[in-house]
C-alpha cells in the first residue's frame, strides 16, 4: 500500500504542473484572441490588450514546462541517457611524470647524429 501511495504522489507531482502549464497556455491564448476579437468589433474604437492575463498565463506556462522539463532532465541524467555535453565533467587524471633523458650515447637519437 505504501508503494501505491508513493506512486500516486509522484504522478500528482507531474500532473499538477502539467495542468498549470495548460491553463497558462489557455490564458495567453484567450488574451490574444480577445484582443483580435475586439479589433474586429465596430463599436469599440480602441481595443486594449489584457496584459495581466497574458503575463500571468506566461508565468504559469513557463513554471509548469520548466518543472516537467527539469524532472525529465534529472531523471535522464540519473539513468545516464544524456548526451556527453550534459554529463557532469570528470577531471582528467594527472599525467605521469616524464623522466629526464640522459645523454649516455645509447639512445637512437645519438646514433643518427653522426
pLDDT given at position 44: 81
Per residue of the chain (114 residues), give pLDDT as tens: 889 999 999 899 999 999 999 999 999 999 999 999 998 888 888 889 999 999 999 999 999 999 999 999 998 888 888 888 877 788 888 888 888 776 665 655 555 555
pLDDT given at position 108: 58
Assess contact for 58 and 24: CB atoms under 8 A. Answer: yes
Give the torsion sign (CA, 66, 68, 72, 77): positive
- CA distance to 34, 45, 59, 63, per residue, from 40 (Å): 10, 10, 28, 33
Cα 2–78–67 angle (5° rounding)?
75
pLDDT given at position 111: 55
Residues 6+ apart with CB under 8 A from 51: 31
All cell numbers assigned to 6: 508513493
Amino acid at each position: 500500500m505504501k508503494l501505491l501511495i508513493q506512486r500516486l504522489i509522484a504522478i500528482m507531482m507531474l500532473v499538477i504542473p502539467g495542468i498549470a502549464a495548460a491553463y497558462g497556455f489557455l490564458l495567453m491564448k484567450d488574451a490574444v484572441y480577445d484582443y483580435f476579437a475586439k479589433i474586429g468589433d465596430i463599436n469599440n474604437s480602441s481595443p486594449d490588450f489584457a496584459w495581466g492575463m497574458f503575463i500571468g498565463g506566461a508565468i504559469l506556462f513557463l513554471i509548469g514546462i520548466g518543472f516537467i522539463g527539469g524532472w525529465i532532465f534529472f531523471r535522464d541524467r540519473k539513468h545516464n541517457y544524456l548526451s556527453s555535453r550534459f554529463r557532469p565533467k570528470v577531471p582528467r587524471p594527472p599525467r605521469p611524470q616524464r623522466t629526464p633523458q640522459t645523454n649516455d650515447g645509447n639512445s637512437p637519437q645519438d646514433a643518427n647524429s653522426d
